């Protein structure tokens, strides 16, 4: 059955608002559409995709949102000091302010996220959900542990690595080795040996295929790596 004409009109309006750079208005429009009960499953998927793409544009733009503010750089401050002060990542400061280097100057105004990011993982659907102040902003397909090896509960991201070395079965597998299955990023939990990482086996995504970790496409794990600071809460449920 085709979509309700009124729904199509609303979606088109949301698209046009996005194209005009009116991201906050478009976001509100999408949220209103997604609350409607007359949507088919296919419509929900398509609309959700547009909504999530817009959410990420807002996060990585200089547009001020209810979850962000502008910090005026003070003498002696660095990106590292500002990131540490507000518990955000340097990557996110760079991307949301279109910085091409880490050089900043007094009086510059930098967009800073004040909202709290967290992650939920649904093992039954192999889905990871990125949340901002408890509000879902993007869903990612993942692989979880075979034979129910992924632990459930609440964890915390304790360490982060770019191009991680894989310590496996008493061997050290360097990042450049084709036998290193960890992909391009590692976000380790406060539960030794477990974490979220990329993959050299993209066909496994969407399946219960790992030894217990959460496995993502490399482009997806690189995106959340740039957003999530150490200390981020991760909740895993069956």
CA 97 to chain CA centroid, nearest Å: 18
| Annotated catalytic residue within 71, 197, 217, 219 | 197
Cα torsion through 40, 45, 46, 50, rounded to 10: 130
Contact 31, 51 (CB under 8 A): yes
Spell out where 114-152 has E strands.
117-122, 127-132, 135-141, 144-145
**Paired sense of beta strands 171-173 and 195-197, if any:** unpaired
Separation between Cα atoms, residue 214 and residue 88, nearest integer Å: 22
- Go through 78-89 and write b for each residue having 16 or more CB atoms within 10 A of its CB, e for each that does not: ebeebbeebebb
Is 197 annotated in the active site?
yes
Separation between Cα atoms, residue 212 and residue 24, nearest integer Å: 38
> What secondary structure letter does DSSP report for 89?
-
Is 35 annotated in the active site?
no
| Annotated catalytic residue within 35, 105, 213, 217 | 213
Number of neighbouring beta carbons within 10 Å of residue 143: 23
Where in the sequence numbering do the catalytic residues fall?
197, 213
């Amino acid at each position: 059955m085709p979509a309700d004409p009124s729904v199509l009109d609303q979606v088109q309006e949301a698209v046009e608002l996005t194209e005009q750079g009116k991201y906050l208005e478009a976001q509100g429009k999408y949220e209103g559409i997604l609350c409607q009960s007359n949507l088919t499953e296919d419509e929900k998927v398509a609309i959700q995709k547009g909504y999530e793409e817009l959410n990420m544009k807002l996060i990585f733009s200089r547009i001020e949102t209810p979850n962000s503010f502008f910090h005026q750089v003070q003498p002696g401050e660095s990106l590292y000091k500002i990131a540490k002060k507000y518990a955000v990542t340097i990557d996110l400061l760079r991307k949301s302010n279109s910085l091409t280097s880490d050089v900043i100057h007094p009086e510059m105004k930098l967009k800073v996220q004040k909202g709290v990011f967290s992650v939920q993982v649904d093992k039954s659907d192999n889905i990871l959900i990125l949340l901002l102040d408890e509000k879902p902003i993007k869903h990612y397909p993942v692989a979880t542990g075979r034979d129910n090896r992924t632990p459930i509960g609440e964890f915390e991201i304790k360490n982060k690595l770019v191009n991680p070395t894989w310590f496996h079965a008493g061997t050290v597998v360097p990042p450049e080795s084709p036998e290193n299955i960890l992909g391009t990023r590692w976000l380790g939990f406060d539960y030794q040996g477990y974490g979220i990482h990329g993959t050299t086996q993209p066909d496994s995504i969407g399946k219960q295929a790992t030894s217990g970790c959460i496995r993502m496409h490399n482009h997806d794990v690189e995106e959340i790596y740039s957003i999530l600071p150490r200390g981020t809460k991760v909740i895993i449920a069956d």
